[in-house]
Amino acid sequence: MVATRCNWQGLQDFCYQVFMKAGLPEPSAAIVAESLVEADLRGVDSHGVVRTAIYLKRIEAGMIDPHSQIEKVSESDANVLVDGNNNFGSVIGRRALEIAMEKAKNNGAAFVGVKGSNHFGTGAYYALKAIEQDMILLVMSNASQTMPPTGGVRPFIGTNPLAVGVPSGEELPFILDMATSVVARGKIIVAAQKGEDIPTGWAIDKDGKPTTDANAALEGSVLPVGGPKGYAISMFIDILSGVLTGAGFGKYVHNMYDNWEQPQNVGHLFIAVDINRFIPLELFKARMDQYIRELKQEPKAHGIQEILIPGELEYRRTQERKANGIELPQKVAEELAEIGRRFGIDFSKASF
């Protein structure tokens, strides 16, 4: 299948113009476009510009309200509950992050819960923003049903993601961004779009049998990472993001692809930590550098050239794709080109 190589800035500008034409306020269009392209740069293609079409479809169907007011429902010194009122997930997420960091600067740490949200992109997008402000961030989100509880057959919980960002000094920062499934469901969607099989162990079909057929997997369930451990982690993320905040949980987080009658009502939780409340920032960064350097100097297993830290592969991929372009599958490129024609925007300007 032929791929289209795009300049990342051109692709981001294309998406920005598309969302502006779709009626988003300018700041929101910029955030959504940046979030999508950031995912593609890091190699998380399942959360990148491939989501443009479904985002637009949900706006047109009234399932996302890009003009709703994001509001604080309750607030104390270090805790805030935010109602996104069904705006874009990444727009709500950025606002919740800003609140969390401001509260953490004033109080040392902050917990910001979110209800009434939508798919908010990658957790790393927010972790990187927090690292720029020299803060530690933990962010989690629930998602619609795609994964069975251990011992079950049908989906009950989502592939609920967890991300952690920790700044460092001269070394790369620590960035963990993981789904609680063996693989993000979005990767199976991409495989189905490409007509490719998936590895054994990623998913089961609707009858609970292992499958390598991406389409059968989409009708069935993805599997939790680490078996019962991944299931338990996904469950606690659903509790903190959904049950605690008043957002949907379990079957009450609605699927963005299948449910055209109800908003998603996704929930998130942002936890920001001001490092200076523990030890001086520069000392912390020096200690992080020491930790990372000593870890990377550990003896290597046979055939291993280098020990990497979480986020390092994605950093390198970002640098490579910024220099050489982002490859989009033919189907995705054609879809974006058609969207461009609909809005009077030339997609070819984004490609090399």
Domains defined along the chain, listed by start: 1-60+318-352 (1.10.1530.10), 67-181+224-297 (3.30.1370.60)
E-only strand ranges, the chain: 3-6, 71-75, 79-83, 109-117, 135-141, 162-166, 174-178, 203-204, 210-211, 221-222, 266-274, 326-329
Average pLDDT over residues 209-237: 94
pLDDT, one tens digit per residue, over 90-142 is 999 999 999 999 999 999 999 999 999 999 999 999 999 999 999 999 999 99
The length of the chain in residues reads: 352
| pLDDT tier, 187 (very low <50, low <70, confident <90, very high otherwise) | confident
According to DSSP, the β-strands at 79-83 and 109-117 are parallel
Element holding 321 (H helix, E strand): helix 312-324
What is residue 1's predicted lDDT score, i.e. its pLDDT? 45
Measured distance between the N- and C-terminal CA atoms of the chain, rounded to whole angstroms? 18
Instruction: List the strands of the sheet with 221-222, edge to edge.
Output: 210-211, 203-204, 221-222
For residue 207, give the amino acid letter: D
Question: Is 334's pLDDT higher than 90?
Answer: yes
Percent residues over pLDDT 90 in the chain = 92
According to DSSP, the β-strands at 79-83 and 210-211 are unpaired
- Which of 1-15, 95-109, 145-159 shows the highest mean pLDDT? 95-109
Q: Mean pLDDT, the chain, as a whole number? A: 96
Q: Let me know if 268 is a catalytic residue.
A: no
Percent residues over pLDDT 70 in the chain = 99
Of 47, 119, 254, 268, the active-site residue reads 119
φ, ψ (nearest 5 deg) of residue 331: -65, -40
pLDDT, one tens digit per residue, over 27-37 is 999 999 999 99
Average pLDDT over residues 69-91: 98
What is residue 245's predicted lDDT score, i.e. its pLDDT? 98
What is residue 225's predicted lDDT score, i.e. its pLDDT? 94
Q: Alpha helix locations (H) across 3-51?
A: 8-21, 26-41
Residues 55/89, Cβ–Cβ less than 8 Å: no
| pLDDT tier, 65 (very low <50, low <70, confident <90, very high otherwise) | very high
d(CA 170, CA 168): 7
